[in-house]
Amino acid sequence: MLSRLTIASLTAVASISVLGLVHVNAVSAAGYEPAGIQVAAASNLNNGKKIYAANCASCHGAKGEGGVGPSLRGDLKTPVMKRTKKAVVAWIRDPKPPMPKLYPGTLKAKDVDDVAGYVLATFK
Ligand code: HEC
């Protein structure tokens, strides 16, 4: 469990601290490329699971199989983004319609972090 996710997250934190504070993300023609976003070192997957069921499953399916929103399994390509917590956190914080912007209203920063970790760890 204390696996690649944790290591990847720590790496992300390390690289972000060089950049400084949170930046606004950017969508380029080549795909979705978030700039620096601060993410916690480890996601609470139990909280992530609850957040997902309450806020995401209606569009992305209970098992990430897709529905109104795209499948969250395998390559993320609507829009194209890496399967990294940094990219998914940035997207959830500032998605494009019709995906609703749930942060900072409904979701706290930690909730966004936890649900991103849950999605990446659960839907392969
Ligand atoms: C109202 C429906 C809806 C809800 C609720 C919703 N999404 Fe989405 N989501 C979408 C749609 C539609 C897209 C594709 C957006 C586009 O075409 O640019 C998307 C895209 C995504 C992507 C990128 C997928 C890819 O293949 O690149 C991720 C990751 C994602 N959503 C995660 C979530 C998470 C996590 C939640 C809950 C916090 C959530 N979404 C809630 C509709 C929704």
Please tell me the total number of residues recorded for the chain in this structure: 124
CA 53 to chain centre: 15
Domain of 58, CATH number, reads 1.10.760.10
Residue 71 Cα, ligand 1 centroid: separation in angstroms?
A: 9
> Residue 59: what pLDDT?
98
Ligand 1 site-directed mutation target among 52, 60, 75, most atoms within 8 Å of CB: 60
CA distance 12 to 3: 14
Pick the atom of ligand 1 nearest to 116's CA: 35
Q: What is the mean pLDDT of residues 30-59?
A: 84
- Give the domain range for residue 30: 4-122
**Average confidence (pLDDT) over 27-55:** 79
Tell how far the Cα of 99 is from the centroid of ligand 1, in angstroms. Answer: 5
Structure token digits, residue 24? 């606004």
User: Which of residues 34 and 24 earns the better pLDDT score?
Assistant: 34
Q: How many domains does the chain have?
A: 1
Tokens for 89?
Answer: 């956190």
For the stretch 96-108, pLDDT in tens is 999 999 999 999 9
pLDDT at 77: 96
Q: What CA–CA distance (Å, rounded) separates 11 from 7?
A: 6
Taking CA atoms only, the protein residue closest to ligand 1 atom 32 is 92
pTM beyond 0.95: the answer is no
